[in-house]
Amino acid sequence: MKRFFNYAINLLPYIFIFISSLYIPTDPDLGWHLKYGEYFFKYHKILQDNIFSSTMTNYHWANGSWGTDLITYTIFIWGGFTGLIIASALIVVLTFYFFAKAAKFDLTEKLLFFPLIAYLEAGINSVSFRGQQISLLFFGVLIFLLCKYRYPSKGLWLIPLLFLFWSNLQIESFLGLGVLAIWIAVELYTQHKSIDKLERNHILLILFASFLVTFINPFGWNIHLVALSHIGDPLVQKIDEYMPFAIYSVHWWNQILSIILLFFAAVTVLFKKQFKAHASLLTVSLILLILAFFVKRYAWPSLYLLFPILNILWQVVEKYVRKFSFMLALDVTILTLAFIIYIKIPFTQFMTVSWDQTCSMRVVPCSSQSADFLIKHKLTSHIFTYYDWGGWLIWNYPQIKPSIDGRMHVWRDNQGYSASEEYDKYLNAQLDIDKSKYAVVYIPLDRSLPLYKELSTLAQKGKWKLVFDDGNSGVIVRQHQ
């Protein structure tokens, strides 16, 4: 009985993470990921051409998430939304496992800190299954390998193997390469007296091999060009995850908290004369936290690095609270677990998810009624569509080719044309929709949108007409003059 109790207590932190990570999928790109996966299994080749949108139809694209698309489609076909929800929660559990192992968390630390980090990572995990979650799992494995194995070690040769899989699943593997390069550079600088020439060459060879294997993918060096195209491109700055968190928002304060914890961890290791042993971790954490103030995408890996930082701080505090620390940590997990269960019930909600439900839960809801209206009234050609609805249309309504979708944010052809750039200008009424090629506009009925205001004015003049309105989405058509 005691053995069973100990086993259950050790599982409790991960049970908490699993339940707290159950979310209904709301990723607006899910549809096109599924369509790419379907294409591979139907035609037994990787799709490299843009066949799903009405603009940039001849564009050739190196899909950095092609491996994730196959996984996503397979899970969805076999398990539907429920399969994606469970897979997402399991990925988060594995991510916590590797970061906890990297930080050498004991049971008390897991019980005490898992709820905190789960709360901090809720911003990314609440979207449910997506490639970025897989990337964070691989990031956790990378940090685990770097923390576990010291030089020289054959175990470090698992890192190039990790990047072979990572680069074929998610393009964020290049963030991992950057972290690896910084980590090694700091290690070589701070540990130069204890690392001989043979060991140094060994380490550099691992870094080179990790970079080299990223070329082993269906698109070769084009994957690298796609990753580099995100750097400094003004088009990227219009995508939500490449923008910073709003100042004084909850996520912004979470970053401030992380920097404060990082500062105290650095002071702690300095006083304990252990700075060299933690220099790589602290440097990577600081860089990612700074980057997160400019691009929110960096926040999620930086917050996961709180695992080892909290471990450093806990070693100082733990000796003062040793007598009651375990019971305190157990109470924290039990109370938060009870709260999470209360929020998540009934769990049957995760077994009956539909596309209409996922649409209604988005920041900008989409609706099947509006898409059905377009098809019924043959309003599917020369159509201007809303960006976040592109992936949903591609999977559910192939008869409606969107003018823009989530794949296209940095696409630019040889003539310099960008459908994303053009879309943004129309949406902000910088280009005249009345002089465009479009005869139908399919957008949210949001009065804050300049395009909606422009179309309302044109409707008053009899040039355009609102023919469908369900309170969220609208269909506005050009009137023949």
The answer to whether residues 172 and 127 belong to one domain is yes
- Given a contact cutoff of 8 angstroms between Cβ atoms, the answer to whether 264 and 208 are in contact is no
The answer to whether residues 338 and 424 belong to one domain is no
For residue 190 the two structure tokens come to 């701070």
Residue 171 lies in a domain: yes
Residue 250 lies in a domain: no
The answer to whether residues 326 and 434 belong to one domain is no
Residue 291 lies in a domain: no
How many whole angstroms separate alpha carbon 184 and alpha carbon 305?
17
- Given a contact cutoff of 8 angstroms between Cβ atoms, the answer to whether 468 and 370 are in contact is yes
> Which pLDDT does position 411 carry in this prediction?
87
- Tokens 């939500």 sit at which residue? 240
Residue where one domain finishes, among candidates 313, 347, 381: 347
Element (H, E) at 393: helix 390-396
Closest CA to 87 of 25, 153, 180, 171: 25
The answer to whether residues 126 and 41 belong to one domain is yes
The answer to whether residues 326 and 428 belong to one domain is no
How many whole angstroms separate alpha carbon 74 and alpha carbon 67?
11
Scored b (16 or more CB within 10 A) or e, 376-388 reads eeebbeebbbbbb
Alpha-helical segments (H) within 121-152: 122-125, 131-148
For residue 241 the two structure tokens come to 């995850």
The answer to whether residues 444 and 328 belong to one domain is no
Residue 449 lies in a domain: yes
- The dihedrals phi and psi of 289, each to the nearest 5 degrees, come to -65, -40
- Given a contact cutoff of 8 angstroms between Cβ atoms, the answer to whether 292 and 240 are in contact is no
Structural domains counted in the chain: 2
Around Cβ 308, how many Cβ atoms within 10 Å? 21
> Which pLDDT does position 34 carry in this prediction?
96
Residue 309 lies in a domain: no
Closest CA to 77 of 44, 47, 33, 127: 33
> Which pLDDT does position 120 carry in this prediction?
95
Handedness of CA 180, 181, 185, 186 (dihedral sign): negative
Residue 150 lies in a domain: yes
The answer to whether residues 340 and 369 belong to one domain is no
How many whole angstroms separate alpha carbon 286 and alpha carbon 268?
15
Residue 311 lies in a domain: no
- Domain boundaries, position 449: 358-478
- The dihedrals phi and psi of 474, each to the nearest 5 degrees, come to -135, 150
Question: Taking CA 122 as the corner, what is the angle to CA 118 and CA 125, rounded to the nearest 5 degrees?
Answer: 105
10-residue stretch averages of pLDDT, the chain, 481 residues long: 77 96 94 96 93 91 92 97 97 98 94 95 93 96 88 80 94 92 91 78 91 92 77 68 86 93 94 89 95 92 96 90 87 94 93 93 90 95 94 95 90 88 93 94 91 94 93 90 54
The answer to whether residues 336 and 373 belong to one domain is no
Residue 337 lies in a domain: yes
The answer to whether residues 72 and 33 belong to one domain is yes
The answer to whether residues 397 and 459 belong to one domain is yes
> Which pLDDT does position 195 carry in this prediction?
78
> Which pLDDT does position 2 carry in this prediction?
67
Residue where one domain finishes, among candidates 347, 381, 411: 347
**Residue 52 in 3-state DSSP?**
coil
How many whole angstroms separate alpha carbon 162 and alpha carbon 152?
18
The answer to whether residues 405 and 340 belong to one domain is no
> Which pLDDT does position 472 carry in this prediction?
87
> Which pLDDT does position 126 carry in this prediction?
93
The answer to whether residues 120 and 199 belong to one domain is yes
N-term to C-term CA, the chain? 83
Please give the model's pTM, rounded to 2 decimal places: 0.94
